[in-house]
Chains A and B, each alone.
Chain A
Amino acid sequence: MRDVAIVSFAQWNGIEPERNEVEILRPVVQEAVERSGLARQEIDFTCSGSSDFLQGAPFAFVLALDAVGAWPPIVESHVEQDGAWALYEAWVKIQTGEVDSALVYAFGKTSSGDMAEIQALQLDPYCVTPLWPDADSVAALQARLFLERSGCSDRELARVAARSRRDAMDNPFAVAKGDFALEKLLAEPCRVSPLRDHDCPTHTDGATALVIAAGERARGLCERPVWIRGIDHRIDPPALGVRDLTRSASTSLAGEKAGVRRDRLDFAELSAPYTHQELILREALGLPASVRINPSGGTLCAHTLMSCGLNRIGEAALRIARGEGDRAVAHASQGPCLQQNLVCVLEGE
């Protein structure tokens, strides 16, 4: 296996309706490229993650290349997935020996459409989508089962929300943030029982970009390369009735393959859009209580649908590069009720 490191990272989250996708993405891509120390033409491969459903236009991702600059023609690929999966493709491409470096970016402009309805389109198109279950309701089915099975209460869920929003106060790119007392959160009515507003993600627009490079190339580019020690992604069956929604088997397997428990961890960045999903993921990855979860505030506090998973990896890499930890696990998820999961283990030089 070739060693691959994250050498730079940039992100933006927020809502500025007058900017289109290219205008949101361009400065973020440029910042990541500049911080990498590589000229754009020196980066061998470009891979992106986004969903045309967010723009309501076919092949909308192609236009995003205006933000990257594709002349002379570049080697490029796209996944209709969170950008974390684009990172996986780029990592594989480096493993093949074809390329030594890659630009990975993702964007999600969730403010253009109705996120609850758009996400209904990822369900079974014959028997479930025609009923238009909204995303929060689908997550609530999972939450109810999880509380029942685990014995957790809504207080544990509120604790996740309070901690995430408090940590998000230090993150300029988090959207939902603040110091909230548990009792105050629990006094709120349910949005979709058992979930309250604070248990559900705050949607925002956003873009994320990072540059990865192999071995010595990475060492030459940054003071402390953050190495991808393991990366794996797995998928659960799509139908909501055929899997145990209270556990995430795909996360467990991806975590095992990525080597999560081979050494101690300093912190974890988990892409859990809903509070109960963080508890499911902790259990699936076997994270001890000593591991700090989502110091960035996590996806709960800034949900872009397509860049929030790649953001978890970038946030973890940034923290390690700054010396605020040596080894971390970062996770990305897509699909209803944590159906698809990617786990990445990062380690500082």
Chain B
Amino acid sequence: MGDADPVKAIVTPVRLEYQCSAGRAATRFLRGLAQRKILGARSRPGEPVYVPPRGADPRTAELTEEMVEVSDRGTVVTYSIVRVPSENIKLELPYVCINVLLDGAGIPFFHVLQNCPLEEVRIGMRVRAVWVPDAELAPAVTSIRYFEPLGEPDVPFEEIEEHT
């Protein structure tokens, strides 16, 4: 390299390690997953059940201390077909990611859909969680392998409109 050449790049690796806490609310949610339970939380009866719970109602900042188990079945409120590879998701391309409104939940939950031809995915479709075998259950969202079609009649759009 000559004196007049610009230094175009230098390599300065940065690596920081963190010990993060999921927090009290999300910890309960994660522990539930290890027991095949999906736990949400609400501030009081009649208010939305947040899944996953974050400790407070994000609208009002009220504490959401009442834990509520919701169903592992729900309705697709929106979806996207993924055709680009990701280092972190080892599913065969293309696959479908969904926002699923679990029965009993106040907000949709993010996951992936499998065992469903791409042309059949639709808003309003009923789906259920497929869990990993007992021995692989862990306090992690990966305890749910994916969602798959349930075969029930679709939910009319008007009934889920506020969640779309």
Give residues in A with beta carbon < 8 Å to B. Answer: 17-23, 26, 29-30, 40, 53, 55-57, 63, 65-71, 111-114, 117-118, 121, 125-126, 129-130
Contact = CB atoms under 8 A, between A and B. Distances in A.
Interface string B4-37: 0000001010101111111111110000000000
Interface of B: 10, 12, 14, 16-27, 54-63
Pick the most buried of B14, B21, B58, B62: most chain A CB atoms within 10 A of its CB: B21
A23 B57 contact: no
- Main SS class of interface, A: helix
B21 A69 contact: no
A125 B20 contact: no
13 contacts: A19-B24, A21-B23, A23-B55, A26-B55, A26-B63, A29-B61, A63-B54, A111-B19, A112-B18, A113-B19, A114-B16, A121-B16, A130-B10
A18 B21 contact: yes
A343 to B, nearest CB: 32
Contacts of A19: 21, 23-24
B17 A20 contact: no
A65 to B, nearest CB: 7
Given A26-B63, A71-B58, A129-B12, 6 more contacts: A20-B21, A30-B61, A69-B59, A69-B60, A112-B20, A113-B17
Contacts of A55: 18, 20
Given A29-B61, A65-B58, A69-B62, A23 B24 contact: yes
A66 B24 contact: no
Enumerate the 7 nearest inter-chain pairs by beta-carbon distance, A residue then B residue, closest first: A20-B23, A69-B61, A71-B59, A56-B18, A130-B12, A69-B60, A66-B58
Contacts of A53: 16
Contacts of B56: 22-23, 26, 66-67, 69
B133 to A, nearest CB: 29
Given A22-B54, A23-B55, A66 B16 contact: no
Contacts of B61: 26, 29-30, 40, 66-69
A69 B23 CA distance: 18
A68 B27 CA distance: 21
A121 to B, nearest CB: 7
Contacts of A29: 61
Contacts of B63: 26
